[in-house]
Structure 1
Amino acid sequence: MPELPEVEAARRAVEENCVGKKITKCIVADDSKVIDAVSRSDFEASVLGKLIVAAHRKGKNMWLQLDSPPFPSFQFGMAGAIYIKGVAVTKYKRSAVKDEDEWPSKYSKFFIELDDGLELSFTDKRRFAKVRLLEDPTSVPPVSELGPDALFEQMTLEKFTESLHKRKTEIKALLLDQSYISGIGNWVADEVLYQARIHPRQAASSLSDASCSILYQCIKEVIEKAVEVGADSSQYPNSWIFHSREKKPDKAFVDGKKIDFITAGGRTTAYVPELQKLSGSADVKETGKTKRQASKKVSTADDTEKPTDSKEGDLGSVKSKKGAKAGAKGRKPAKKQKPEESDENNDSDAGTDCDTDQVVKKNAGNVTNRKRVGEEKLSKKRVQSNQTGRSSKRKAK
């Protein structure tokens, strides 16, 4: 999702090109999932004829200050983006609208034309963003619930270190907590932890003063650099893990060192095990992808699948033989597991399109019901067989 650098790039583009101009036209999408708690007609009427005085941001939220309230406010969600016709604004990769597409885009949720002919559009292809009309965005959620902005309101080193030592939560999860620091998302958190050589699942309270100081400086440097280049990722330093964090595990390297992927803070997380050591805690294989990968079946030379653990394989063979002698049909099929959520969907701003748990439970219920029906049929056959046997014996007598 767009993080602080992407949203700040959008804010600066609005500030440089739209401030001091009057809104002469407004089109708000008829989409109640994105346009929050206000009708499109009321929204349009409230901003027409207003002058844009300033563009503000806190964390991943932005709003336009007009010459009088209410003000349009934008929570970017997973794919929100600001476009200004004829002006280069960083396109977040998951929200890109091609230049040859219709204008305003069919994904436009808020469109305005200014008195000099300039046109601005807020688009959202995935519909996880929120566009609101607020009297004072800073006094109500989500902005009122945010912690200090990672760029504009950075804590002092002393306060930062003290706050970390009070938190027993994993450091990646803490950095993603917008009530702690606002603006840091998944890629920024991975980058600053890699640069600071801190394991994503290290307990915040266990970090030394030196590690806290390095992390503090890395947060500052990574965010300032990303903002400096307008969130244009092609200009990020080659030494950043950013450039490889979305590659396949066996092809992900940074400075010649292998990148591994685990789950930390509820998100898919890229880190370098050789440099980011987990100390004072259980091995990372206890949770995350590495454990699941270790338990996966591997393909052997004869193209048959066997468990990686030989003891488990031998035990399975014994059970299979016993089952065959008893007339069993073989091993029971493995239970369906809930598929892992993708990095795109697993986000605090995102909803879910379906309830996977319910699907799995329903399927499991169907399997159980079929099993019961089969058992009942088998039982009836046994009864019928016994009755036939008794009848044959009586006739023989």
Structure 2
Amino acid sequence: MPELPDVETFRRTLDHHGLGRPVRRTTVSAPDLLVDILPQSLGRLLKNHPLAETRRHGKVLFAAREGCDGWLVLHFGMSGSLMMLEGKAAPPEHAGLVVAFDQGGFAYVSPRRLGMIGWTQSPEAFVASRGLGPDALAVDRERFVPDLRGHRGAIKCWLMDQARLAGIGNVYSDEILFHAGIHPKRAGNTLDEPEATRVYEAMRRVLEQAVAARAEPARLPDGYLLPSREKGGRCPRCGEALATARACGRTAWYCPRCQAPDEVSR
């Protein structure tokens, strides 16, 4: 699933290649992905208007119509992506939405049809309507640490709960906890303040580095879990075989030597 680093990469790409160019046509090939708006209405809202600004909150990308009187909303679901198109290039397979400029455009690609496309008056209004927590790269330590320490369940589940913290999913929760040296099923309320602070600092460091790497595992520095996060993988620090555990319905990957269980949530 695209997480914060992936969506921030999409945002920067759209920001660089898509702003200031009038929209000439929109094609909706997957109307089931539209939420509270019809394909014709979306087309009318965008036609002949340049995109003026982009924002991101958690895993959601927003693109403002010129005049900031409305925003296109894109959530990428389990396997979605954003692809820029050049010239008269044909849209890629599984393009649920294509926004065309005079030359080129961009496509919202969703092979599993599990994302969403919508329209909102403002990102703030959308975030409030969906009950999303603070963005993981915007939350401050003073809020993060006590909230985490008040959670009785597994820390991995807290990190992935979009109502508590927006932007982190299965992959980057594992990476964050690996860097913090915390077992994914450790209960949040068993952490002392230095440990919770360590998680916060690891989260900032991992997400910022992943954004800098354009969310490409091969571009991450040595010592990251993600390139080894698979069957037969070994810890990039100590060489121990990676282990897995189930947490809130997802598979967590961790190093049993570097991330000692201590007290875990059952």
* Aligned residue in 1 for 2:53: 54
1:254 aligned to which of 235, 253, 261: 235
2:139 aligned to which of 135, 154, 158: 154
* Aligned residue in 2 for 1:189: 173
Q: Which amino acid aligns with 2:32?
A: K
Identity across the alignment (%) = 26
Counting only pairs closer than 5 Å after superposition, residues 1-397 of structure 1 correspond to structure 2 as 1-29=1-29, 31-68=30-67, 69-86=69-86, 103-115=90-102, 117-140=103-126, 144-151=130-137, 153-156=138-141, 158-245=142-229, 247-248=230-231, 251-255=232-236, 256-281=239-264
Q: Which is helix-richer, 1 or 2?
A: 1
- Quote how far apart the aligned CAs of 1:279 are: 1.7
Q: Which amino acid aligns with 1:159?
A: R
Q: Is the 8 A contact 2:185 2:264 kept in 1?
A: no
Shift >3 Å, 4+ stretches: 140-144
Q: Which amino acid aligns with 1:46?
A: L
Q: Is the 8 A contact 2:27 2:98 kept in 1?
A: yes
- Quote how far apart the aligned CAs of 1:70 are: 3.5
In 1, the alpha carbon distance for the partners of 2:130 and 2:122 equals 10
Q: Is the 8 A contact 1:148 1:155 kept in 2?
A: no
For the structure 1 residues 281 and 70, does the alpha-carbon distance in structure 2 shift closer, same or farther, using more than 3 Å as the test? closer
- Quote how far apart the aligned CAs of 1:105 are: 1.9
Q: Which amino acid aligns with 1:66?
A: R
For the structure 1 residues 242 and 143, does the alpha-carbon distance in structure 2 shift closer, same or farther, using more than 3 Å as the test? farther
- Quote how far apart the aligned CAs of 1:137 are: 3.8
Larger Rg: 1
Please, what TM-score do these two structures have when normalized by structure 1? 0.63
Q: Which amino acid aligns with 2:11?
A: R
Q: Which amino acid aligns with 1:85?
A: L
Q: Is the 8 A contact 2:154 2:264 kept in 1?
A: no
- Quote how far apart the aligned CAs of 1:24 are: 1.5
In 1, the alpha carbon distance for the partners of 2:200 and 2:33 equals 35
Please, what TM-score do these two structures have when normalized by structure 2? 0.92
In 1, the alpha carbon distance for the partners of 2:111 and 2:262 equals 42
Q: Is the 8 A contact 2:154 2:184 kept in 1?
A: yes
Q: What secondary structure sits across from 1:65 in the alignment?
A: strand
Q: What secondary structure sits across from 2:32 in the alignment?
A: coil
Q: Which amino acid aligns with 1:154?
A: V
Q: Which amino acid aligns with 1:147?
A: G
In 2, the alpha carbon distance for the partners of 1:36 and 1:159 equals 32
Q: Is the 8 A contact 2:26 2:98 kept in 1?
A: yes
- Cα displacement string for residues 273-308 of structure 1 (whole angstroms, at most 9, x for unaligned residues): 1121122358xxxx7xxxxxxxxxxxxxxxxxxxxx
